[in-house]
Amino acid sequence: MASGNPFFDDLRSKPEVIDLPQNEDRLDSESVNEPTQTTTKPNLIVSSNVRELLECPVCLNAMYPPIHQCLNGHTLCSGCKPRVHNRCPTCRHELGNIRCLALEKVAASLELPCKYQSYGCVGIYPYYSKLKHESQCSYRPYSCPYAGSECTVVGDIPFLVAHLKDDHKVDMHSGSTFNHRYVKSNPHEVENATWMLTVFSCFGQYFCLHFEAFQLGMAPVYIAFLRFMGDDNEAKNYSYSLEVGGNGRKLIWQGVPRSIRDSHRKVRDSFDGLIIQRNMALFFSGGDRKELKLRVTGRIWKEQ
């Protein structure tokens, strides 16, 4: 929503990522989802007024040291200070180099709940550690794993499963084995076989089977790989195999499913899957080599 102040609107249209302070203690990644002990600091409940004081009036992000202020006491984050040409965006007075040490100390005394509280995170974190935790919180929502469009939907796993089924019309299957046939009438045009996605439910989890064509250098290739709908530490508990063949030959791939925390493109571009060169794919297809007919079989199992 426009503020009515063109100065503010121009700045808000250019958000910046503000680095965390280097001189404050942060949570180690191993304890990223462990709530802090609440007996050491009494200021657990933070009013909305205090949170507003710590919000930069330009970018609307939380402010971290150094927090700047003008002679009239209006505050500003360090990332926005050079963008306002040393003029306070509130009163237009010169900013100078005054730090608001009082507000920095207030922030250091605060403990706040994770912003993913509604997804199940019950942790309470020091103000200066909260962003670090949230960037790694295991409760943070997942991005939609659908690869056929730039889908921006996020949510937990049950929500995304329903989203894939209802909105993307993805095929859903139960069981740990599969046998899929991919047919394309013109395999010489890579864009005609860009992607396919099937979701499997087994072992109480969900897995995404991707199959697509893409350009590897000058040659088009096909790739099939599996992604796990959950975090990487859980994905490592499972393995899968893929097999494709024809005319008495076959290729076999065995691997560990990648978490959907890794984007579809990241997995594809790392070649972490069954890769089939086009000439080999057409050989497997048989016939006059003018139509792609690949049968990909596979299974998923849980490691003991």
- What's the pLDDT tens digit per position in 239-288? 999 999 888 889 999 999 999 999 888 998 899 999 998 888 888 887 67
Q: Would 15 be classed as within a structural domain?
A: no
Q: Do residues 185 and 257 both lie within one domain?
A: yes
Q: Are both 90 and 207 inside the same structural domain? A: no
Is position 265 within any domain?
yes
* pLDDT confidence bin for 237, thresholds 50/70/90: very high
Q: Domain boundary residue among 99, 122, 139?
A: 139
Q: Is residue 35 part of a domain?
A: no
* Whether residue 172 is found in the same domain as residue 123: no
The verdict on residue 28 lying in a domain is no
d(CA 73, CA 100): 8
Cα–Cα distance between 9 and 56 in angstroms, integer? 14
pLDDT of residue 161: 96
Do 287 and 261 lie in a common domain?
yes
What average pLDDT does the chain have? 81
Residues 6+ apart with CB under 8 A from 152: 143, 144
pLDDT tens digits, one per residue of 257-267: 999 999 888 99
b/e map 129-138, b = 16+ CB within 10 Å: bbbbbbeebe
In this structure, the answer to whether residues 76 and 148 fall within a common structural domain is: no
Give the contacts of 224 (CB within 8 A, at least 6 positions apart): 209, 210, 211, 242, 244, 253, 273, 274, 276, 296
For a pLDDT cut of 90, what percent of the chain falls above it? 39
The pLDDT confidence band at residue 192, using thresholds 50, 70 and 90, is very low
Task: Mark whether 132 and 154 lie in a shared domain.
Answer: no
Q: Which of 143, 142, 134, 157 is nearest to 33 (CA)?
A: 134
Q: The CATH number of the domain where 80 resides is what? A: 3.30.40.10
Q: Hey, how many other C-beta atoms are within 10 angstroms of the C-beta on 11?
A: 20
Q: Is residue 192 part of a domain?
A: yes
Between CA 203 and CA 174 the distance in angstroms is: 10
- The CA-atom distances, in angstroms, between 10 and each of 59, 61, 138, 158, 233 are 10, 16, 35, 39, 42
Same domain, 254 and 294: yes
Closest listed residue to residue 267, CA positions, set 211, 218, 201: 211
| pLDDT value for 50 | 76
Residue among 275, 285, 282, 189 at smallest CA distance from 224: 275
Confidence bin at 78 (pLDDT 50/70/90): confident
Please give the Cα distance from 268 to 211 (Å, whole number).
Answer: 10
In this structure, the answer to whether residues 95 and 132 fall within a common structural domain is no
Collapsed DSSP state (helix, strand, coil) of residue 190:
helix
Q: What is the pLDDT of residues 150-182, one digit of tens each?
A: 789 999 999 999 999 999 999 999 999 998 888
Domain final residue, candidates 98, 124, 139: 139
Give residue 247's region: left, alpha or beta (phi > 0; psi -120 to 50).
left
Count the domains in the chain: 3
Chain centroid to CA 69: how far?
Answer: 35
pLDDT (0 to 100) of residue 47:
58
Q: What is the chain's alpha carbon radius of gyration, rounded to the nearest angstrom?
A: 26
Shared-domain flag, residues 104 and 167: no
Domain extent, residue 131, equals 110-139
**Cα–Cα distance between 153 and 272 in angstroms, integer?**
25
- Same domain as 127, residue 82: no
In a shared domain, residues 158 and 296: yes
Q: Are residues 87 and 135 in the same domain?
A: no
Residue 188: inside a domain, yes or no? yes
In a domain, 7, yes or no: no
Question: Which pairing describes strands 219-228 and 274-277: parallel, antiparallel, or unpaired?
Answer: antiparallel
Q: Is 259 domain-assigned?
A: yes
| Phi, psi for 173 (deg, rounded to 5) | -135, 150
Q: How many CB atoms lie within 10 A of CB 68?
A: 23
